[in-house]
Amino acid sequence: MSQFGNYTYSRTYRGKVQALVLDWSGTIADAYVIAPAVVFVEVFKNQGVEISMEEARGPMGLRKDLHIKMLTEDPVIAERWKSIKGKYPDQSDVDAMFKDFVPAQLDCLRKYTTILPGVKDVLVDLQKQGLKIGASTGFVRSMVDVLLEDCIKQGFTPDATVAGDEVINGARPAPHMV
């Protein structure tokens, strides 16, 4: 509190926008965020437990190992798991599924790297105006490298990219990746 009673003072930025940070899936490419969802369904199916695409999308935005963990903590999925496997899923199950997730995601990722219509032109134009463009994702760095390579081939190069395994919390929209 200042010496002037109930007044507070704060600084605010009033300049131009200087940077834009976008998510890869659904914003730059993969309009319906299919790439990770199909693989989540696949890794659960490999464990003998069916999940729907809707269930697979539930915690979208998290780092992918955390996403799998959140799926195993969903009460409906956990009960389904127990009815099939005789126990609730635990961290070893999460680790096993994530181990399967990474190569499966890398195998199918290029199917979903086409930049969405109009996005490249807008982003390139914003860069020409001096804005820095960043891309963040819950994918791990090896997956970001695939996305980045294909993005560059299509004519857009982000100024910065951050993968889910490059930050401690790996979750968005919290500011950890920004």
Roughly how many angstroms between the first and final C-alpha of the chain, as a whole number? 30
Q: How many CB atoms lie within 10 A of CB 116?
A: 13
Q: Which of 52, 23, 25, 21 is nearest to 111 (CA)?
A: 25
Active site residue 23: yes
Residue 12 CA to residue 81 CA, distance in Å, equals: 50
- Contact present, 113 and 151 (Cβ < 8 Å): yes
Q: For residues 51, 111, 144 and 118, what is the CA-based torsion angle, rounded to 10 degrees? A: -110
Catalytic residue among 16, 30, 45, 64: 64
Active site residue 64: yes
| β-sheet with 160-162: strand ranges across | 19-23, 132-136, 160-162
Specify the amino acid at residue 163: A
Catalytically annotated residues: 23, 64
